[in-house]
Amino acid sequence: MGDPTVVLLHGGSANGWWWQAVADQMVTGPRLLALDQRGHGDSDWVAPPAYAPADYVADLHRMLGLLGLRAPIIVGHSQGGINALAYAAAHRDATRAVVAIDSPLRSSPQRDRFLKRLRNLPTVIYADLATAQARFRLMPDEGEVPGAILAEIASRSLRPVGGGYSLKFDRESFLGRDGIDVLKVVATIGVPVLLLRAEHSRLMSAQALGEAVASNPLVRAHVIPGAHHHVLLEQPASVAELIRRFIDELD
């Protein structure tokens, strides 16, 4: 089928630049489009807040229509993976395949409460860029991400505001409960799906992964050894190779 277009959807509180390390490993092959989803990166915040998967799906569908892209492969990390799965379920004819990377397939009351607490925290404004970059942390803050990658992500995730610097994303995007029953969505998808789980993930459980695979013959899974939630920063070469192999198997 030739080299397809791959649309890359970042996770919550992130932005399109989080895919740079993976893209660097895919300099030949498919065309890559990494988006700043609504409320993230350099995309506008939404007032009143509207950050359910259906909202992200509608944005993506409009964008693909404007670009004239037919049936791209949608790849998402974390919340971006949920959005990718939701898109494939809603627009089967406009999706070639889906890759969801360490996305929570089932939420929990504890996770829901945590997201709501994050949403209600006050916005922190740092006095200068150096301080903001030094204070930048991943959520969850785990794994061994190379310092150069983390520094680049920090620089792409901050914006000048109020005489200082703050994070670019809208805290209202911490929806909680993800807005959909992800496992039920996976069961309905009619295109090939690859679910990638980081071995040490606390978000995509092994049990939920098994249920997802059992629910739909088009779903396959792979566990990335030694990886944590931010696997696309921690092991970009592994992520790139698995995406590339999945694409090759679609032919």
Residue 197 is given by DSSP the state: E
| Cα distance between residue 80 and residue 82, in whole Å | 5
Contact 143, 228 (CB under 8 A): yes
Tens of each residue's pLDDT in the chain, 251 residues: 457 899 999 999 999 999 999 999 998 889 999 999 999 999 999 999 999 999 999 999 999 999 999 899 999 999 999 999 999 999 999 999 999 999 999 977 777 777 777 777 888 899 999 999 999 999 889 999 999 999 999 999 999 998 899 999 999 998 755 578 999 999 999 999 999 999 999 999 999 999 999 999 999 999 999 999 999 999 999 999 999 999 999 97
Determine if residue 78 is left, alpha or beta; phi over 0 gives left, psi from -120 to 50 gives alpha, anything else beta: left
pLDDT at 221: 98
pLDDT at 117: 79
Backbone angles phi, psi at 182, to 5 degrees: -65, -40
Which CATH superfamily does the domain covering 5-106+177-250 fall into? Alpha/Beta hydrolase fold, catalytic domain (3.40.50.1820)
Output the CA–CA distances (angstroms, integers) from residue 159 to 15, 64, 119, in the order listed.
13, 27, 19
pLDDT at 108: 72
Residue 198 is given by DSSP the state: E
Determine if residue 163 is left, alpha or beta; phi over 0 gives left, psi from -120 to 50 gives alpha, anything else beta: left
pLDDT at 158: 96
Contact 224, 242 (CB under 8 A): yes
Residues in the chain, how many?
A: 251
Contact 151, 145 (CB under 8 A): no
pLDDT at 2: 56
| Cα distance between residue 109 and residue 95, in whole Å | 32
pLDDT at 49: 92
pLDDT at 176: 57
Torsion of CA 71, 63, 35, 161, to 10 degrees: -170
| Cα distance between residue 185 and residue 107, in whole Å | 14
pLDDT at 177: 53
Torsion of CA 132, 133, 137, 139, to 10 degrees: 80
